[in-house]
Structure 1
Amino acid sequence: MIDYHHDYYKGLAKIYFLRIVDTIIRLGRLQQEQGIILDFGCGYQYLKRRLNKSNVLGYDIIPELSDVRDYKHLKPAVIVCNNVLEHFPLSDIEKLLRQFKKMNPSMLLITATPTENFLSRIGMLLTGEREAHTDHKSKLKDITALLSRHCTLVRRRRLYTLSEIAVWRFRP
């Protein structure tokens, strides 16, 4: 099991993860965003470091990694969930989506989710990350179906067939 208290991205895995972050920034047009960007499940705050902007706030279940103790009082223009939603059961993702919409119904939601396909399994072997997906509780197709019920897809991109990065807007 991965110890999320430590920065576990190294070597090829880190290069790949930073490519995901850069794709999120480009696809979400985050360089131009002036409102609050909430990095939900921020981990070691790679998004904040890459953007180098003061309007990025990180929230993580590990308190020492967070900028804010309680994200629910924020009114973000954008929420980023980078390799986060797959760690929740679908019922909890549904609750999160309702909570996010309540915070700001007009915000953008950016998700990055692993495809967990054959190539990703080979990649895990090559990088020595054999346990990378053992703590996942939901699959991409189920997460996408759930998001589609609550949101409209704005744009989407696959990265090396290993991850899907998508920009969503909540339905009225």
Structure 2
Amino acid sequence: MPLLIAAVVLVTVLCLLNLLLTFGVVRRLRAQGGHGHGGHDADITDLVLPVGATVPAFTAVTTAGETVSRDGLGAVLFGFFSPGCPACAERLPLFVKAAREAVGEGRRVLAVVHGDEADTREQVAALTAVARVVVEPADGPLGRGFAVAGYPVFGLLDANGTVTASGFDPKALSAPVRTAA
């Protein structure tokens, strides 16, 4: 009987220790909630070409029927979105605001939405007023050229097609890049 009591006490202590460790992990995950995929710029290098990299040549057609290419794009604020992405829905208004400011400063804006027309309709409608919008599958020419591996992601290109800034927050990107006159 004493052996059975000792075993029950030991299992109880182990369960309590496991519960404490679980609470610690949950607390840490909640503390990092704003710093996960949608908020921590240190992880951005895995989601898009790194700063200093040059986007390879590409050609794509916007929702307005305009052909865009890296060489004809100039300095640009860019953003990549995907339908059904909660972080994309959260960041879309921030990008629209940053895009309005960029246009006001004489910069161009390119928004790429990865998905089919039906799924992307809402995002395209929000972006069309402030950006050239391209809808393409995730493996489309822009997604491949920018090496996009997650959403949303934003950045700045100079007139040579070199990434000068990137991040999860379009308002936190580096100093403005102006289009060549």
User: What is the TM-score when the length of structure 1 is the normalising length?
Assistant: 0.29
User: What is the TM-score when the length of structure 2 is the normalising length?
Assistant: 0.28
Q: Which has the larger radius of gyration?
A: 2
Which structure's residues are more often helix, by fraction?
2
